[in-house]
Amino acid sequence: MALIVAASVLFLDQLTKFLATKYLSFNQSLPLVKGVLYLSLVHNRGAAFGMLKGLNIFFILAALAAITLIYLNLRKLGWRRIAITTASLSLILAGALGNLIDRLAFGYVIDFIDLRIWPVFNVADSAITIGALLWAFSIIKARK
């Protein structure tokens, strides 16, 4: 089940990035829900919020390390086991892979979801964030 979750999220991430680059021009912003949700194509050469620009090799190595650790943990937990921890690690794995693919292919991460109150992001970023929140929840739940 973990592989299906990770593969599905990775596919959705890469598909939406492909469509964003095909139908939007760089720095173009298209309102979907005016004042709330826009599609804005940007190239993120840094980390979250565009910080630490110019450290692409660091981000590639960090992603590879994280992917390896997550993969090993998923193998240890059991790929078919459905649990919050497994789901969270699958989401983080998919997000890390999605952004790693961009960094290796282009030297930057393709972002396009724009809420105007938050930096522009993508499906991979969302998967990492949701996965991290689920992981924190599973740790808190395990301690009780």
pLDDT in tens, 24-66: 999 899 999 999 999 999 999 877 656 666 776 887 888 898 8
- What is the average pLDDT across 101-118? 95
Identify the residue with better confidence: 104 or 2: 104
Report the predicted TM-score, pTM, of the whole model to 2 decimal places.
0.83
What is the Rg, in whole angstroms, of the alpha carbon atoms belonging to the chain?
16
Find out whether 77 and 86 touch, Cβ atoms under 8 Å.
Answer: yes
CA distance 118 to 141: 29
Lowest mean pLDDT among 13-27, 64-78, 122-136: 64-78
| Residue 116, token pair as written in the block | 């105007």
Of 13, 102, 111, 114, catalytic: 111
pLDDT on residue 36 = 95
CA distance 29 to 81: 41
Domains: count for the chain: 1
Confidence of residue 125 (pLDDT cuts 50, 70, 90): very high
Domain of residue 100, residue span: 2-34+42-143
| Residue 30, token pair as written in the block | 């298209």
Of 13, 102, 114, 125, catalytic: 125
Q: Is 102 a catalytic residue?
A: no
pLDDT on residue 50 = 60
84-106 vs 2-23: helix crossing angle, rounded to 10 = 40
pLDDT > 70? residue 127? yes
CA distance 83 to 141: 12
pLDDT in tens, 63-108: 898 888 888 887 777 655 558 888 899 999 999 999 999 999 999 9
Find out whether 99 and 125 touch, Cβ atoms under 8 Å.
Answer: yes
- What is the average pLDDT across 119-136? 95
